[in-house]
Amino acid sequence: MTRLFNEPAAFADEMIEGFVASHGRWVRRVNGGVARSTKSTADTVALVIGGGSGHYPAFAGLVGQGLAHGAAMGNLFASPSAQQVYSVAKAANNGAGVLLGYGNYAGDVLHFTQAQERLRREGIDCRSIAVTDDVSSAPLEERAKRRGIAGDLTVFKVAAAAAEAGYSMDATVDIAERANDRTRSFGVAFTGCTLPGAENPLFTVPGGRMAVGMGIHGEPGIDETDIPTADELAELLVAKLLTEVPDGLSVAGARVVPILNGLGSVKYEELFVVYRRVAQLLAEAGLEAVDPQVGELVTSFDMAGTSLTLFWLDEELETLWNAPADAPAFRRGAVTAAALDTAALNADELSAEATAIPEATDESRAAAVRVLAALAAAKDVVDANVEELGRIDAVAGDGDHGIGMERGVRAAVEAATDAVERGAGAASTLHLAADAWADRAGGTSGALWGMALRAVGDAVGNSNTPDGGAVAAGVAEAAASIMGFGKAKVGDKTLVDVLVPFRDALSAAVGSGQSLTDAWGTAATVAQEAAEETANLLPLMGRARPHAEKSLGTPDAGAVSMALIVRAIHNTFAEAKSAATTTKENA
């Protein structure tokens, strides 16, 4: 378990601070993560990698000469926000564009895509490579749905070496995609991992049993078997990966980089015992092992498990894999040390100017106070249920939903408080809260809640007292934005299964003449019922999809948190209505 921490929600930030303090020769702190502290060659492609925290040495440990130029670092097991990715990319850009590299998870795809679009709008050439090496997460005919695990390393290393060598953006992307196409991984685990502050691991494996088909976010395996001997485990891993030889290749005579990766608690000595047999099996199959890697490269906190990756080489890929690199957690060959980038180090990378507050009417500023009260109520209900939300999410997902929601809603309240104090109207308050929520929460939920708050803000504006029609229109637009961007639909076991019935009930109640307070209350009841009904659904989106059967009988965490929040907001409406009635009666 994770024993050393302060405030669980602050763990990722404090971890980054300590990492930079101890590795200043390689990295500097920037908004959203870290970037190289050394100078890079001008007019070359910059590789910016990233993902959730909790996987060290991925991702920050791979920033340095010959490897990544920056790493966007999200909350524990949650993707970095689009703002974080954008900020790191801006800091790392050398003038020839930015290649974004990440594992193929829904939250990462959402946020990195948003950042990519923003960079392109500013005239920066930006491309992406989503790593898809995990053979257990989707069948071969659906490779695009597979997640990225320890194979991140091979793709990032090759792309970085190409960029360092002066490849064009097109050529760098081509070689990164080739590396991804030639990388396959398969993992197992004996125990789950425990997030800071949690009393129980994200999942458990019965004594004497092994979970097969592991991810790196605490997702349960897709199967279970008795714990094998070290040799039997090696045979399982190698046999599975040799069923998927990349197109156009044959086993006999092929050259591969084998990576036996420890997920957190399996000792190096154990890994060496397993690799002993892996090496024998590869040789017996006619494969030549090139530069084997045995150790912790992409971890999952304290998970006891391991994965095997095979990276199938050609001449160019082998040259790039062997190219010199000097990063905190991965070094190769001799690198001519670059000078420290003193100008960047002396710049205040973490400073941010306060956003200007647009003008608003007195009516809208009064409404902003009610917006703040609603957000504060959302914060209180999330704080009260953070552990339960994490428990629900861990049944078939990665267990980070509670912490992510907590970070997001706390940031939203802080931003809204500042906005109200500076005289913001309802729309501006919601917009600033939306940006803060998305930025601090990261993950899929952060992106979606940011969209929702922004859509409602657009609908209510800064001029009038928001009425039921405006709020209902904002909720409708929020639903459209979320479904359009995330591609989820009713029945996929996501927050959409609550948002759509809530939207429909709210619009119908407002249309029938109910006040906003009464209409919201009616819709909140519908939302609660819809959240409970998600227990009967199988997940068709996100990290829970490969473990769909495990989630039957448990509601979706995102659906539950949305139902809790809309009910808490209704309570603030009802209290405000009651207070206004009392004031009127006493007048």
| In a shared domain, residues 420 and 278 | no
Given a cut of 60, is residue 153 above it in pLDDT? Answer: yes
pLDDT for the residue numbered 204: 82
Given a cut of 60, is residue 144 above it in pLDDT? Answer: yes
Which residue has 């980070």 as its token pair?
A: 400
| In a shared domain, residues 286 and 412 | no
pLDDT (average), residues 463-486: 93
132: in domain: yes
356: in domain: no
**159, 176 in Cβ contact below 8 A?**
yes
| In a shared domain, residues 303 and 427 | no
- Tokens in use for 160? 């970085």
**48, 69 in Cβ contact below 8 A?**
yes
342: in domain: no
Least confident segment among 309-313, 375-379, 444-448, 545-549:
545-549
DSSP label of 299: -
Residue 248, domain CATH: 3.40.50.10440
Split at pLDDT 50, 70, 90, the class of 344 is confident
344: in domain: no
Distance of alpha carbon 233 from alpha carbon 222, whole angstroms: 16
| In a shared domain, residues 182 and 108 | yes
Instruction: Render 347-406 in DSSP notation, one character per residue.
Output: S-TT--PPPPPPP--HHHHHHHHHHHHHHHHHHHHHHHHHHHHHHHHHTTS-S-HHHHHH
| In a shared domain, residues 466 and 515 | yes
DSSP label of 143: G
Given a cut of 90, is residue 28 above it in pLDDT? Answer: yes
Q: What is the pTM of this model?
A: 0.84
Q: How far, in whole angstroms, is CA 34 from its chain's centroid?
A: 16
In the chain, the number of structural domains is 2
pLDDT for the residue numbered 552: 81
Distance of alpha carbon 33 from alpha carbon 90, whole angstroms: 12
pLDDT (average), residues 437-455: 90
| In a shared domain, residues 422 and 314 | no
Query: Which range of residues forms the domain containing residue 261?
Result: 8-199+206-333
Distance of alpha carbon 354 from alpha carbon 314, whole angstroms: 51
| In a shared domain, residues 308 and 210 | yes
| Active site members | 217
| In a shared domain, residues 427 and 525 | yes
| In a shared domain, residues 325 and 447 | no
417: in domain: yes
Split at pLDDT 50, 70, 90, the class of 583 is low
| In a shared domain, residues 487 and 537 | yes
Residue 500, domain CATH: 1.25.40.340
Q: How far, in whole angstroms, is CA 322 from its chain's centroid?
A: 30
357: in domain: no
Give me the chain's average pLDDT, please.
92
| In a shared domain, residues 154 and 229 | yes
349: in domain: no
Given a cut of 90, is residue 526 above it in pLDDT? Answer: yes
| In a shared domain, residues 126 and 49 | yes
538: in domain: yes
